[in-house]
Amino acid sequence: MKILRIEAIPYSIPYNHALKFASGQVTDAEHVLVRIHTDEGIVGEADAPPRPYTYGETQASIITIIESIFAPQIIGLDPFDRGKIHEIMARTIHNQVAKGALDIALWDLMGKALGTPVHKLLGGYTDSMRVSHMLGFRPAQELLDEALRFGEQYGITTFKLKVGRRPLTLDIEACHVLRAGLGDEVELYLDANRGWSANEAMEVLRRTEGLGLTALEEPCDAKEAMSRRRLVENSPIPIVGDESVPTAGDVSRELLSGGSNAICIKTARSGFTEATEILGLCTGLGVDVTMGNQIDTQVGSLATVTFGAAHEATTRRAGELSNFLDMADDLLADPIRISGGRISVRNVPGVGAGIDEAKLARYRQN
Ligand code: MUC
Ligand code: MG
C-alpha cells in the first residue's frame, strides 16, 4: 500500500460560549482535518487543533507544514512504515500538533487496512473511560451551576478547574464554592496554564488546603526551573506537566529536573506513537499520567479515548474528554455519547471517527 495524497482541510465551528483560561481563549474551533489517501482507497483521518498560545502553531502553519514540508516527503511511502515517516517528521523541529495529526491518521489507516479497531492495536485494555470535564474562567456560582448540570446530565464526577487568575482570591473562592456545592465525592483538580508564579501557586495551595484538590497542572512556566522545583518539592499534591511536556524528551527533562511529578498526555500534540513513548517513560518511572484535552472536537476526543482506554495506567484517572459539549456542532456522523460519566471506544476498524461529509462541506474554509 502506498500513500497517494495528504489533505489538510481548514474548517471552523463556533463555540456556544467561549472557553477562557490563563493562556488564552477559544471561541471557534478553527481546526484542520487531516486526511491521508492511499492507492488502495483507504483513508486515514485525524483532527489538528491549532493552539498558538501553547505551541505557536496556527491553522495556516499546520496546513503549510503538512502541504509543503511533510507531504512531499511522505507521499509514495507505505503507511505501515511509520519509522520512516517519523524520521522524516523529526527532521523538522516543533510543529507537534501537525505531526500528531499525521501520526493518528496513519494509525487510523492501519486499523482500517487490518480491519481492527485502533484501541485494540494500541493495547486493548478496556473499552471506555471515565470523563473529566474542564471548567473555564467564570464567576464561581456559574462554575458550580455548570458542574452540577454536567453531573446531572452526563454523570460526570470529575472536574478540572481552570485557574491562574489574579487576584488569587478569584480562583481560591471558586475552589471553595465548588467544593461546598459539589460535596466531597466529586474530584476537583486545577490547571493554571502558567498564569501564576510558583510562589503564587504555593499561596493558593495553602489557602485551599483541606479542600481535597487532587492535582495542580502547569502552575507557572516550567522554564522558571528553580522556583518550580521548589514548588514540586513542597506541594502536597502532584504538579502536572502539560504544555511543558509535548515530547518524550520534554517529559524526561521535566521529570529529571524536578519540574513536574505527574504528566498530562495529549494525543493531539503527541499522536499515538509519541504518546506511547511518553506513557512508557512514566510507567517505568512510577509517574502518574492523565489524558488531557487540547480543547478537542469529537474527532479529537475519540482519538484521546482510543489511546486512553488502550492502557491500564491511562484509565486510572478520568480523561478530559467532554469539552466538545461547548461547541455548537461537530463533524462526527455518529456523535459521541456520554453516559454514566463514561465515553466508549468504537469497535470498528480504525479510530472510528466517521465524518459527516455534509457537515464538513458546511464548515470547511476552502
Ligand atoms: C489544558 O489542559 O491546558 C488549554 C490550552 C491548551 O493548550 O489546552 C487547553 C487545556
Ligand atoms: Mg493543561
ipTM for the predicted complex: 0.98
* % pLDDT > 90, the chain: 100
Told to judge if 25 belongs to the known catalytic residues of this protein, a careful annotator would answer no
The candidate with the shortest Cα–Cα distance to 237, out of 271, 257, 208, 200, is: 208
Distance 134 CA to ligand 2 centre (A): 10
Is 51 in the same domain as 128? no
User: 302 and 322 share a domain?
Assistant: yes
Same domain, 265 and 207: yes
Q: Is 191 a catalytic residue?
A: yes
Average pLDDT, the chain: 98
Are residues 89 and 126 located together in one domain of the fold?
Answer: no
242 is catalytic: yes
Is 304 inside any structural domain? yes
Upper half-sphere CA count for residue 342 (Cβ side, 13 Å): 10
pLDDT tens for each residue of 211-227: 999 999 999 999 999 99
Per-residue pLDDT tens digits for 3-12: 999 999 999 9
Do 327 and 274 belong to one domain? yes
Q: Which residues contact 180 (CB under 8 A, 6 or more apart)?
A: none
Q: Both 329 and 190 in a single domain?
A: yes
Q: Which of 30, 217, 221, 326 is catalytic?
A: 217
Q: How far is the CA of 294 from the centre of ligand 1 (A)?
A: 5
**Distance, CA of 137 to CA of 139 (rounded, Å):** 7
Task: List the residue whose alpha carbon is closest to atom 6 of ligand 1.
Answer: 294
Residue 144 exposure: Cα atoms within 13 Å on the Cβ side: 15
Structural domain that includes position 155: 120-344
Same domain, 177 and 316: yes
Expressed in angstroms and rounded, the spacing between residue 159 Cα and the centre of ligand 2 is: 13
The rounded distance, in Å, linking the Cα atoms of 60 and 58 is 5
Q: How large is the angle between the packed helices 198-207 and 169-182, nearest 10 degrees?
A: 30
pLDDT at residue 63, as a whole number: 98
Residue bearing cell 501557586: 201
pLDDT tens digits, 295-309: 999 999 999 999 999
Per-residue pLDDT tens for 142-195? 999 999 999 999 999 999 999 999 999 999 999 999 999 999 999 999 999 999
pLDDT tens, residue by residue, 58-103: 999 999 999 999 999 999 999 999 999 999 999 999 999 999 999 9
Q: Please check whether residue 65 lies inside any domain of the structure.
A: yes
pLDDT tens digits along 7-66: 999 999 999 999 999 999 999 999 999 999 999 999 999 999 999 999 999 999 999 999
Looking up residue 336, the CATH number of its domain turns out to be: 3.20.20.120
Which chain residues have CB less than 5 Å from ligand 2, an ion? Answer: 191, 217, 242
